[in-house]
Structures are given as C-alpha cells and as structure tokens.
Structure 1
Amino acid sequence: MIKNSGIKLLRARLHTRSRTGIALCLLLLPLTASADLTNGLVAYYPFDGNASDMSGNGNHGTVNGAAPGVDRHGGAGNAYSFDGVDDYIVINNADSEFDLINEDFTFSFWINSNDSEKEQTVLDTESSGWNGWNIRYGMTACSNTFCLGGKGVGVASERALLNTPPQINEWHQVVAVYSEGDTSLKGFLNGILDETTNIDLSFTSGVHDVLLIGAQSTSGSRVFSGSIDEVRIYDRALSAAEVQALYDLEKPDLNPVGEMQFRPLAAGGNNSFFIKEDGSLWAF
C-alpha cells in the first residue's frame, strides 16, 4: 500500500533481478530540497513520554500535573495534556538560553485546544516585573486567536500572531517568526503564512528566571486547556520554505489514497510508473 506522502511529485522505479519477477526495491525520488531544521535550534521538546530537550542544549523541563496524551498521529503518550486548572511544564535557569533581546527568533508548536472562551498560555518567560515574552491563545485583544507579547522597560507590546483562529479540538501547527532587522512578525498556520505585522517587541534582558509551557505562572494563571506537542525554539528567523519543510516533517500521516496491484514483472527488467501530484492516478 502506498500513501500520499505530501511530496509534490514522485517518480518511482521497480527493479527486478530474479526469474520470478519479484520486485527487490521501490525507489521514491522526491523532487524537493531538504532543509536543515537543526540550525539555530535552542530547545526542542517532542514530548515523547517526557519533557527532555532533544536539541542537545540541556534545557530539560519538569512536568507539573500535565499528563501524557495522544498526539496528532494517534500515538499514546507522545504529547502532553493540560487540564486548564494548574498543569504546566517548567524549564528552570532559562535566562541565558531564552533571553531573546534584539534577536531574530522562531517559535513552533502543535496545539489542540478544547476551550476558545478563555485566555490560555502556550509559552511564557515573564517573571520579574512583568518582563519577558509570551504566546497566548484566546485573547480578545487579538481577536481570540494567538497573541505574541514582548514586555520590557515597563512597556507592553502585544500583536495578533494569526488572522485565522484555529478550530478547537483539532491539531494545528503554529509558527511565529520574528526578524529584528525589519521588526517583522510573521505567523504561520499549518505551514502557510497567515499574518504579517511590524512590531518592536522590546524584550528585556536579565529577567527571565524560567520558561513555562502551558501556563503564565507557577501559581496556575492562564493555564492551557488541551494538548501541546513538538515545541521548538530557534535563535534565528526561519524562512517560509523552512517553515513549510518543518510542517511537512511533523504533520499527521495522510490516509492511504489507494492500493496498487502489480501483474508479474519481467525478470531482469526495469519497470517505471508515475504518480500524479494529488495521488489519485498512477499510470504504467
């Protein structure tokens, strides 16, 4: 059975080397370039049964109440579920790694919220004097979609990250890309650019004690209600092509579009076929 891989064009070739005509290999050749999605990666939390940082930088998290949940692939224990009351994940000593003053950055995560009627936190570094940065969901100031806020020098700045509110009870990838050079903030939903705005985030240095996932504070304010997975933080601005490549890497598997049945193949021959872009037709 062959699945639609999401690659725009596939060329497949079957090689046979025996008298029985049994195919020994199926070679799929994607006509797309790969991206280095580890470059600039500060922290990466795949949440595969724990809150370990898999970037290699040692920014491991401690789980407080959040329970292992089902991820977007249907895998049990491969995401974290937050109860909307007092669950969160905390990364201590986050000051140096997540102090993003005057820097390009990218935040990426998958969410499945079950409540769009309250303000919820996905990521937050606010600690001393309301300084730091955050990403929240369901804020009226941002049309009940995602807000990215940066606070420093006593001045708060918040902007809508997306124009399209994600549907609740569904998995979505959200990516925020900030370029300090032109103060542009770009929001991507499921790999597609959804909003662009200009904002000076004014992040303040030296005040971030912790990074929180799923809550604004350890006291349980603005707690996320639903599931979070695949959190990534970069210290650079990913390009639109890299964001799309990241979505393609992490997106749920598609259902099979059909089956292919082969008649006996000629021994020692090469047999080629092509699959249309939408996966709906194959021809010999």
Structure 2
Amino acid sequence: MNNSKIERRELLKWMVFSLPPAFYLTGCGGGGGSSSSLMSATELPNVSPGADVFACTAGSMCKPLVMLYSYASGSQSPTTSNLNATLYDVTEATDRFDDGAQCYAFNGTSSQATALGIAALEKPPFGISFWAQSANTAYMRIVQIASESASTAAIDFNNQSGMGIYLGGEFSKYVLSFGTPGQFTDGNWHHFLVQYDGAALTAFVDGILRGSVNTYVHNYGGNLYVGGQGLTVWSGDIDDMRVYNRVFEASEVPQLVYAWTQVKPTTRNDSLMAYYPFNDNAVNENGRGFDGTLFNVTPTTDRFGQADRAYAFNGTDAYIQLPTALGPVPMDFCLAFWIQSSTNAQMAAFSVTKGATTGSGNLDFVFNDGAALTVTLAGTTTTTISCGSLGGLTDGAWHFVLLQLNGPTYQLYVDGNLQGTMQNGSLVLSSDSIICIGRGSGTGTISTDYWNGALDDVQIYDTAFTVAQIAAIMQLQYLPRDGGGAL
C-alpha cells in the first residue's frame, strides 16, 4: 500500500493525548482437529447469567473495545468508528505499555464483549487485528463471529495447536492452524491479524506470516463476540482490537505491530523537537515548523522496503540543512537517525556547527575514520567516542545511531547498544547552531565529508531516554500504519 504522509493534525493529536479513543479497542487485559468441547455450527454464543454488564457506547466514559476502520474505494485513509461493544464481567487492566486501566482483562469464566451488526464482517475482504496476553495454556476462544442464526467463524488458542481458525460455519476442523499449544499464551503480549480476501485466509503473529490457505466461504456473520464462552472463555488481557474492511500485504503488517506506540505517548509530550521521516520531503512532522532545505538528495527506499520514504546522498554535494534557532537546549537532549551505506570511505552523516554563542561546540558523526563511527564534540574542550572497526557500520545494512546528553554524560548507542560515553561542557544545540544531515561541519580537523548512502527518520528530542526506551525508539516511525494516522 502506498502509505501517505501523516497529516500534522493527526500527529499533534497523538503527541498530546495518551490514547485517542477513536483509534483503539483499548480494552486490555492447534493442529486443526476436532474437540468434544467445540460448539456446533448452529450454537450461538451466550452470556453467563448474572454477569456484570455495561454498554461501552460512543457517549460513555469507558474505553472503546472494538474499532472499525472502513476504507472507501480507492481511499488510503479510513473512517474510524467505535463499534459500541457491550462488556460483560470484564475489568480494566494494565496495557502493554504498563499503563494502568488502559485495556481489558477477561476472567476465563464469564467475561465477554459483544459488538453486533458489523457489516464489514458480512462479506470479504475483512480483517481482525488485536493484541492479547495470557499465561494460560488451556484451550481458549478469543473471538467468535456469528450471523443471527449460527456461528460462522472463531479464533482459538491451545486446542492441539497454538492457534486455530474456523471460517465459513464449519466447526468440525480448523481451516487454518499453526504453532504449538502455549506458544502464543506465554505471558507476553502478542499481536494477531487474521484476514480473508474472498479466496485466501491468512494469519500473522507479531507481524510474521504464520499460515495461509485458499478456502471458499459461503456463510458470514456480522456479530462479533470477544472472549469466547463456556469452558473456552479467554483468560487474559485484550487490547486495541480493530475490524478492517480490507486486507493487508505481508510487507505492510509489521507496521501494525511496530510503530510510535512502542514508547508511551505520555513520555513524548513536548519532548520531540523535530522529526524527519523523509517521506519525499524534509518537513518536520511534529508540526512545529523547522523544516529542512534539500540539496541534491534523491528519494529512495526505506528499511521497510517502501519507495520514496528515505533519502539517498551522493557523497559529493548532497545534504539537508535545517534552519537555525532550534535551541538553545542547555540540558538533556537526544539525536537519533538511521543510516545505510556500502561505502568504506571516510564520511559524515550528521553534524551541528556552532554559531557565535559563547561556549558552544561543533558536533560531528564521522564514519570510517579509523573506526566504524567516531563522534567528536569540539568546543570548550574536544572529546570523542569511537566504536567498531572501519566499515563495520557501512556494510549495506540499516543501522540506528543515537547520541544523547544524559546529565553530564554523552552516551552513544548503535542499534540499541551502548558503545561509549564522554563528558564535555560545550553547548551543542544553541540558538544559532547549524544542523546538517548528510555532511560534516567542515570545522577544525573535521572535513565536510559528504555522506554516500541513505539516511532516514532523523529525530531530535529535548530529553534523554532509558535503555528500554531507546530499544523501543528503534521501532518508532511517523508512518500512518494503515492510512488512519499515528498509532
């Protein structure tokens, strides 16, 4: 799919609000064979007598359980709507970002949620995407779909296989099954996508295709039951359930899993100063201005294989220059970007050149100058961090580089691993410093050394991060994962 650049209003909405209700089921919380506990094709889900029930409607205060993403013909941006699920015996729980009361827990005995009359499920193409967590290795049903008269589809766990899918009203055996019992209920959060295009049923777990089968379906239903029933009720948490009236290409599915929500949005508020996804421009996508100027760069394919979502630099005169007046940032800050090159020549990927501000310094990220990467800060004093051997980071693969000032100490991370530290009191981000992407500062002993390769997803923060957050930031991207805005 041709992912369009996220609109600024959507991005700002994401930066300000921790969980936009219009985008989430934010409830948290086998080798295909037959089983005596399986329901028949005509048996409809039911709710335990006396279950605690409340309706989660658009006007209620509870968090929406299931969201519909509806795409008009030819549109890359969906209309989103809360499917107004009714919840039975579910409780709020901690979600996959360790935020409390942001998802729903199902108790394994009487919990269920219903969303009725979903037209998108009554004919292909359609898909169901959700996050789930459980440490229960018993047979459990997490999703069931039914018409007014009979059950038509279901998603099971731990019934002779790790995951099994019924489709079309035939419940004598799974249409598609894979994995081993307990494989996907190991106590960790996993993302699941099950989709049917009218010919092929496909299933993905954590962004990876786990099974595909061609099958003809003649029975569909529009009533969605989340959590199972009877002896097969889901025991665990469910979050961010979405119904789509489309299917996804395999290359698109990882973006359903890995995107900006891998770091709590509450930690991003006001800390992201600038972000450049290089989606065929050098616009700062947080909507604050400070857009870059392009010099002889060429759009290229990014690390996800998407065309025109990164920039190629020619090694001679290509670079991107940002305006001055981003700073001053006298305390903690963070610079991060992705690099890719197969050239072993000395070259710089990023630089900050000082202006007239007293106490400021020049910062350069130089590759293949006796080491894989050398970061030099030359100001009131000159200090360096070096790591790896020559060519070690220009091996044709994509690598993630992050430098942050954390208190008095600069820390260099490459691909999420700490490579070295230094201390230097020079000011880097001053009110008149010049930031260049794709070339060196050309000051002192540092030459201009234009970058020969690709660069992408340049980020500037006015904060420092923990090791866990840095590992998560490696997965961050301001791409509209399905055309509907940031995750």
Given the two structures, how large is their TM-score scaled by the length of structure 1? 0.70
SS in 1 for 2:152: coil
* Compared CA separation, residues 62 and 147, structure 1 to 2 (3 A): same
Matches within 5 A, 1:222-241: 222-241=449-468
- Correspondence 1:38 to 2:169: no
- Higher relative contact order structure (alpha carbons within 8 Å, sequence separation ≥ 6): 1
Amino acid of the structure 1 residue aligned with 2:280: G
Q: Distance in 2 between matches of 1:26 and 1:45?
A: 39
Equivalent residue number for residue 297 of structure 2: 66
Equivalent residue number for residue 16 of structure 1: 145
Equivalent residue number for residue 216 of structure 1: 440
Equivalent residue number for residue 253 of structure 1: none
SS in 2 for 1:195: strand
Question: Given that residues 215 and 222 in structure 1 are in contact (C-alpha distance below 8 angstroms), is that contact kept between their aligned partners in structure 2?
Answer: yes
Question: Given that residues 69 and 81 in structure 1 are in contact (C-alpha distance below 8 angstroms), is that contact kept between their aligned partners in structure 2?
Answer: yes
Task: Choose from 296, 314, 321 the match for 1:83.
Answer: 314
Deviation at 1:25, TM superposition (A): 7.7
Question: Given that residues 262 and 473 in structure 2 are in contact (C-alpha distance below 8 angstroms), is that contact kept between their aligned partners in structure 1?
Answer: no
SS in 2 for 1:244: helix
Q: Distance in 2 between matches of 1:224 and 1:205?
A: 22
* Compared CA separation, residues 172 and 60, structure 1 to 2 (3 A): same
Runs of at least 5 residues in structure 2 that lack an aligned partner in the other structure:
1-126, 135-140, 155-223, 228-236, 240-260, 478-487
* Compared CA separation, residues 149 and 70, structure 1 to 2 (3 A): same
Q: Distance in 2 between matches of 1:176 and 1:87?
A: 23
SS in 1 for 2:453: strand
Equivalent residue number for residue 271 of structure 1: none
Equivalent residue number for residue 424 of structure 2: 200
1:118-157: CA deviations, max 9, x gaps?
13232323456995342323253xx52223332324x322
* Compared CA separation, residues 249 and 10, structure 1 to 2 (3 A): farther
Deviation at 1:114, TM superposition (A): 2.3
* Compared CA separation, residues 204 and 78, structure 1 to 2 (3 A): closer
Question: Given that residues 88 and 218 in structure 1 are in contact (C-alpha distance below 8 angstroms), is that contact kept between their aligned partners in structure 2?
Answer: no
Deviation at 1:200, TM superposition (A): 1.6
Amino acid of the structure 2 residue aligned with 1:111: I
Q: Distance in 1 between matches of 2:225 and 2:423?
A: 52
Deviation at 1:82, TM superposition (A): 0.3
Please tell me the root mean square deviation across aligned C-alpha atoms, in Å: 3.6
Equivalent residue number for residue 282 of structure 1: none
Amino acid of the structure 1 residue aligned with 2:438: G
Equivalent residue number for residue 258 of structure 1: none
Larger radius of gyration: 2
Equivalent residue number for residue 159 of structure 1: 385
SS in 1 for 2:345: coil
SS in 2 for 1:52: coil
1:96-118: CA deviations, max 9, x gaps?
x24334x1111111110221231
Amino acid of the structure 2 residue aligned with 1:99: P
Equivalent residue number for residue 187 of structure 1: 412
Q: Distance in 1 between matches of 2:442 and 2:225?
A: 54
Task: Choose from 404, 410, 413 the match for 1:177.
Answer: 404
SS in 2 for 1:116: coil
1:219-262: CA deviations, max 9, x gaps?
99211110000000111111112112212334xxxxxxxxxxxx
Given the two structures, how large is their TM-score scaled by the length of structure 2? 0.43
* Compared CA separation, residues 10 and 187, structure 1 to 2 (3 A): farther
Q: Distance in 1 between matches of 2:368 and 2:327?
A: 23
Amino acid of the structure 1 residue aligned with 2:361: G
Length, aligned pairs only:
237
* Compared CA separation, residues 195 and 116, structure 1 to 2 (3 A): same
* Compared CA separation, residues 204 and 198, structure 1 to 2 (3 A): closer
* Compared CA separation, residues 81 and 128, structure 1 to 2 (3 A): farther
Question: Given that residues 174 and 188 in structure 1 are in contact (C-alpha distance below 8 angstroms), is that contact kept between their aligned partners in structure 2?
Answer: yes
Question: Given that residues 334 and 464 in structure 2 are in contact (C-alpha distance below 8 angstroms), is that contact kept between their aligned partners in structure 1?
Answer: yes
Q: Distance in 2 between matches of 1:26 and 1:149?
A: 55
SS in 2 for 1:248: coil
Task: Pick the structure with more strand per residue.
Answer: 1
* Compared CA separation, residues 10 and 174, structure 1 to 2 (3 A): farther
SS in 1 for 2:309: strand
Task: Choose from 135, 145, 148 the match for 2:375.
Answer: 148
